[in-house]
Amino acid sequence: MIKCRIIAICFLFSSLALWASAQEKEQAFIDEAGLGNVEIRLLIKENTGAIWIGTDDDGIIRYDGSSWIRYTEEDGLPRSQARYGAFDQDNVLWVGSSLGATSFDGKSWTSYLPENSGLSGKTVRDVAVDADNVKWFATSELNRFDGVTWETVYTPSETQMRVSAIAFDHEGIMWVGTGNGVVSYDGESWNDYPPEDSEVGPMSVLSIACDQKNVIWFAGYGGIVRFDGSSWKRYDRFYDPDRDKIVDVGACYTVFIDDDNTAYFGRGGLYYDEANDTIERNTNLSAGSNTLLHDRGIWWLGNRSGLFIFADENPTGVGEHDSNIEFLSVQSYPNPFNSQATIDFTLAWNGFTVLSVYSLGGQKVRELVSGYMTAGKYSVVWNGLNSLGMPVSSGVYITRFTNGNHVATGRMTFIK
């Protein structure tokens, strides 16, 4: 289990005066995206490394590490909402909302509604893509779209009520959560796991995930269920260190498998302790979540209060300095240059980072980096253009680099 420390975002701040300036920058980071006090429903990473942030009624935002782009109904979404999503093998984003599904190919959005597609209902509760690049949608029924033809492949029983979650295991078996129980599909036949046999129910399954050992995890109203391929186990209680007693798990809205194969659940920092076969609580992750994402040492968490960011608590975590990395440095080459220069910079701290180019008179010429970054070494290229895309004049320019409370500067000369 990775311990985490809350470092920024929205309304939750450390009281340490040392980090006051950094906190202001982190707040500016979220304010820039307009994600303060916005319910976050989706966090997903595309293969370019960009993070997509779906909201309940404020559109979907793409963050590439330096800039934010927001898409809403004005851009072609059926509603300014993105609750569920998946990327297909062509890096097309498929999104589900309460008014249907939408796809984004990097240029434009295409809407799929019950009236113009094979969706069985307006409300899409989950989206998944299989190994054949077929798209699957959880609505009142289970819908399949191969890019040309729509098909309804499963209709839940009266007691199951609806399809609510979809996931594929490493053997290609599709697991489908319903309003009361689970079914699976191996490509030829359906297998029903009723509540009395699987320990899933009576439970409305809201999220399914497969870990690296092909263990299937189910979360929803009523607890957490684990299936290892031969046996089922339900976890509906855990020890809460804050209250010093055993309490009910309650509703879990999401399951996320970390890189170290730990299963996390959207319920106040709950995770699976494999060594003890128990559900435990990480008190540093006290906020409940609709969605989780772990990317390059950074936890992204979205809930009804907005977006939160956490850093792994390790030797290069927030407030920790890695003595093996120079405190802060920035340099450029070639210097002088006449077409473009590569600027190398080193972070010894996780934090909000800005790298800008200034004239000798102190005017900002171009902002090259602006966003949250982890400790390490990076490079960025400046092509001698200002923020308007116009070539700058020959002369000396200052590179100013801020990382949290820390500042470094350098000089480079541009010759036409």
Give me the CATH number covering residue 345. Answer: 2.60.40.4070
Q: CB under 8 Å to 128, separation ≥6 — which residues? A: 86, 135, 136, 166, 167, 168, 174
Both 35 and 164 in one domain: the answer is: yes
Q: CB under 8 Å to 295, separation ≥6 — which residues? A: 45, 51
Is residue 280 domain-resident? Answer: yes
Both 59 and 161 in one domain: the answer is: yes
Both 403 and 254 in one domain: the answer is: no
Strand intervals (E) in 119-222 = 126-129, 135-138, 142-145, 150-154, 163-168, 174-178, 181-185, 190-193, 204-210, 216-221
Using an 8 Å Cβ cutoff, are 18 and 28 in contact? no
Is the pLDDT score of 285 beyond 70? Answer: no
> What is the band of 36 on the pLDDT scale with cuts at 50, 70, 90?
low
pLDDT, averaged across the chain:
81
Is the pLDDT score of 397 beyond 70? Answer: yes
Nearest to 128 by CA among 176, 190, 86: 86
Is the pLDDT score of 274 beyond 80? Answer: yes
| Boundary of a domain, candidates 250, 277, 312 | 312
Both 226 and 119 in one domain: the answer is: yes
Is residue 317 domain-resident? Answer: no
Both 276 and 372 in one domain: the answer is: no
Is residue 230 domain-resident? Answer: yes
Both 387 and 302 in one domain: the answer is: no
Is the pLDDT score of 86 beyond 50? Answer: yes
Nearest to 412 by CA among 369, 381, 390, 377: 381
Three-state DSSP at 247 gives strand
In the numeric block, the tokens 């963050």 are attached to 63
Is the pLDDT score of 41 beyond 80? Answer: yes
Question: Residue range 323-347: average pLDDT?
Answer: 73
CA separation for the pair 224, 235 (Å, rounded) = 5
Is residue 320 domain-resident? Answer: no
- Convert the pLDDT of each residue in 336-368 to its tens digit: 998 899 988 877 666 678 888 988 878 889 989
CA separation for the pair 372, 65 (Å, rounded) = 7
Q: CB under 8 Å to 173, separation ≥6 — which residues? A: 184, 185, 186
Both 401 and 298 in one domain: the answer is: no
Using an 8 Å Cβ cutoff, are 113 and 124 in contact? no
Both 150 and 43 in one domain: the answer is: yes
Total domain count, the chain: 2
Both 125 and 19 in one domain: the answer is: yes
In the numeric block, the tokens 């801020």 are attached to 402
Q: Which of 54-58, 286-290, 292-296 has the highest mean pLDDT?
A: 54-58
More confident: 140 or 249: 140
CA separation for the pair 127, 93 (Å, rounded) = 10
> What is the band of 369 on the pLDDT scale with cuts at 50, 70, 90?
confident
**To the nearest whole percent, how much of the chain has pLDDT over 70?**
80
More confident: 259 or 120: 120
The reported pLDDT for the residue numbered 143 is 97
| Boundary of a domain, candidates 312, 337, 362 | 312
Is the pLDDT score of 3 beyond 60? Answer: no
Is residue 299 domain-resident? Answer: yes
Identify the domain containing residue 262 by its residue range. Answer: 4-312
Is residue 242 domain-resident? Answer: yes
- Convert the pLDDT of each residue in 152-206 to its tens digit: 999 999 988 999 999 999 999 999 999 988 999 999 999 988 766 666 666 789 9
pTM value is 0.70
| Boundary of a domain, candidates 312, 347, 366 | 312
The reported pLDDT for the residue numbered 140 is 94
Both 125 and 212 in one domain: the answer is: yes
Q: Which domain CATH number covers 123?
A: 2.130.10.10
Instruction: List the structure tokens of 245.
Output: 């007693």
Both 99 and 180 in one domain: the answer is: yes
Is residue 227 domain-resident? Answer: yes
> What is the band of 327 on the pLDDT scale with cuts at 50, 70, 90?
very low
Both 26 and 131 in one domain: the answer is: yes
Using an 8 Å Cβ cutoff, are 343 and 379 in contact? yes
Is residue 322 domain-resident? Answer: no
